[in-house]
Structure 1
Amino acid sequence: MAGTPSPDRLLDCSDPESRATAVGHAAEVVRQGRLVVLPTDTVYGVGADAFDEVAVAMVLAAKHRGREMPPPVLVPHARTVDGLAVEVPMYARILMRQFWPGPLTLVLRSQPSLQWDLGETNGTVALRMPDDEVALALLEEVGPLAVTSANVTGQPAATTAQEALDQLGGAVTAYLDGGPRTGGLPSTILDCTGEEPVVLRPGALEATQIRAVLGTTVLHDQPPAPVEPQTEPAEGEGSGEIGQDDEPDGAALVGSVRPSAVPVPSSAYRVVPAASHRS
């Protein structure tokens, strides 16, 4: 537990009047460079202004996480994407129109001119528009937020504001209480940095639903399988498993792109000996 939190950190969003007051307060917290917890359509998330590099570092610190696992970014509208990403494929725009707001995260090439630092993203950003009134109201007020699940890494994702408060405590200034969340399947993550989309992590949006709107564009079910190591890895290494404790994160490496919020398992690499040369 992250210390003894003050009960007034919990902001009631149960009715329109209290929601407006709570969201207004949370928006001011974000503008001050501090952290907020907000409900989404999957689990509760902890977030900060995506363009405030200190605040983003505070998000990672609150979760006891390093820069190698940068947070995704939540947006209020699909049109926000063009200010954050470049070379957005038409199939990605089709998916946004069909499934946003909803449980679909798209990994795109980040706009290089942006003054932000989400961590080690390798030039990509994971974007999603959540299907939640409270989250969207806050995003409308403050713009893109760097958000990851509201839990300490390794602990269960929070499905209520109280659960988030119990884990993150005083590291977060305001907790928007929108009631319990289902805690069901996380968002589906697609790599959209190539000519065809690739499923980085299966989730709430099924592949059959995605294929139904893609037409002739091929959806690849998974990244290329990592090569099995020739010797057994040390305990705790090289499993290559997809993490499920953290809603927006946990996808695997695909091709040569490491998307935002995607840790790289050690089993994704293989050292290939140099070929001998004949004289």
Structure 2
Amino acid sequence: MTKRLTANQAGLETAAHILRQGGLVAFGTETVYGLGGDATQPEAVSRIFQAKNRPRFNPLISHFPSAEAAFSQVIASPLAHLLAETFWPGPLTLILPRAPGSTISDLAADGLSTLAVRVPRGEHVLSLLALTGRPVAAPSANRSGRISPSAAEHVFDELDGRIDAVLDTGPCAVGLESTVLDLTAPGSPVLLRHGGIPAEALEKICGPFAFPQSEADAAPLSPGRMLSHYAPALPVRLNATSVEKHEALLAFGPAPLTGAGAVWNLSETGNLEEAAARLFQGLRYLDTLGAQHGFTALAVQPVPASGIGLAIQDRLRRAAAPRPGQPQA
């Protein structure tokens, strides 16, 4: 049963406590209601995808109570500071290079070297973010493919019983998702998504900007896809039924294959949510060992094609996609 929390001090403190404990809380911003989870906890981020019934991972926007907090996680350019001074708090998301000391999980960033950050507008949401004291990943609080919610009742219609609580902050003032601007590309900033900040207002600050040539061009940054994505240096062999000593093994379930040079089990109990949360970490771990010990490939045991398992399979297919100059597993 999903709790309804009133947007008073007690409700805000309860919502912040749930978020810090790894739970999910929907809350209103000036744009739409977001489905919030602690962006530093991969298990919480995995729950976001599960609750939304989203079949694939996507980079998520992390929300902060101030520009100072947001810029502690990224490398902010002078233009980023100027845009923040002009439009934050407000419906503008900036794509910036990830800072070396960033605490945001790989799962929230979709394994990318960039982060999407914003400071939303609204007394209650800013209080909640300040009380939580951590970056909060928050896509729209609806099931994947449905209409975005602009009131608490919309969230209950979509997610009742699937999340821990809804902080009822009233109807959203904008009701349209944030504008997304990529500041990492060489040359002009790239407008990846139209939203709550009109393009004309942005141009007054940053001058003319570019647009992606296609959805595929925007895919890596503002939720989307690349064919070869988060690819380890080792060639990846999917759906392995046996493994050799010269291979590292990404296992799943209580019966990992025997004979591998190194093993990372995504979930010994076969829990797909745990597997999703551990995926990027496991790929990095085995890739590092591969460089150290001269493994020739990374073998991957099958993962069920159900629920968030489809997301895991999607990520693994991209990890295994052919890359120029790399031998095939």
Q: TM-score range by the shorter chain?
A: 0.7 to 0.9
**Does 1:22 find its partner at 2:11?**
yes
**Letter aligned with residue 10 of structure 1:** R
In 1, distance between residues paired with 2:183 and 2:94? 6
* Matched position secondary structure for 2:138: strand
**Does 1:263 find its partner at 2:224?**
yes
- Residues 265 and 202 of structure 1: is their aligned pair in 2 closer, same or farther, counting only changes over 3 Å? farther
In 2, distance between residues paired with 1:201 and 1:221? 11
Query: Quick check: which has more Rg, 1 or 2?
Result: 2
Calculate the TM-score normalised by the size of structure 1: 0.74
* Matched position secondary structure for 1:10: strand
Higher RCO (CA < 8 A, seq sep 6+)? 1
1:40 to 29, 44, 66: 29
In 1, distance between residues paired with 2:210 and 2:102? 31
**Does 1:123 find its partner at 2:117?**
no
TM-superposed CA distance for 1:183, in Å, is: 5.8
Of 111-120 and 73-82, the range deviating more from structure 2: 111-120
- Residues 67 and 154 of structure 1: is their aligned pair in 2 closer, same or farther, counting only changes over 3 Å? closer
**Letter aligned with residue 123 of structure 1:** S
Partner of 1:81: 70
Partner of 1:167: 158
Partner of 1:136: 126
**Does 1:194 find its partner at 2:185?**
yes
In 2, distance between residues paired with 1:68 and 1:112? 23
In 1, distance between residues paired with 2:42 and 2:101? 15
**Letter aligned with residue 258 of structure 1:** P
**Does 1:184 find its partner at 2:178?**
no
**Does 1:253 find its partner at 2:217?**
yes
**Letter aligned with residue 131 of structure 1:** R
Does the 8 Å contact 1:253/1:263 carry over to 2? no
Gaps of 5+ in 2: 228-329
**Does 1:211 find its partner at 2:203?**
yes
Partner of 2:52: 63
In 2, distance between residues paired with 1:91 and 1:42? 23
Does the 8 Å contact 1:68/1:119 carry over to 2? no
Does the 8 Å contact 2:70/2:118 carry over to 1? no
Of 198-207 and 110-119, the range deviating more from structure 2: 110-119
Partner of 1:105: 93
* Matched position secondary structure for 1:57: helix
Percentage of matched positions with identical amino acids: 34
Please give the per-residue CA displacement for 1:18-39, whole angstroms capped at 9, x wherever unaligned: x111000101111211000110
The count of residues paired between Structure 1 and Structure 2 equals 224
Does the 8 Å contact 1:37/1:174 carry over to 2? yes
Partner of 2:232: none
Does the 8 Å contact 1:67/1:119 carry over to 2? no
In 2, distance between residues paired with 1:11 and 1:141? 15
Calculate the TM-score normalised by the size of structure 2: 0.63
- Residues 155 and 166 of structure 1: is their aligned pair in 2 closer, same or farther, counting only changes over 3 Å? same
In 1, distance between residues paired with 2:18 and 2:70? 24
Please give the per-residue CA displacement for 1:216-272, whole angstroms capped at 9, x wherever unaligned: xx431412x24xxxxxxxxxxxxx4xxxxxxxxxxx634xx822x421388xxxxxx
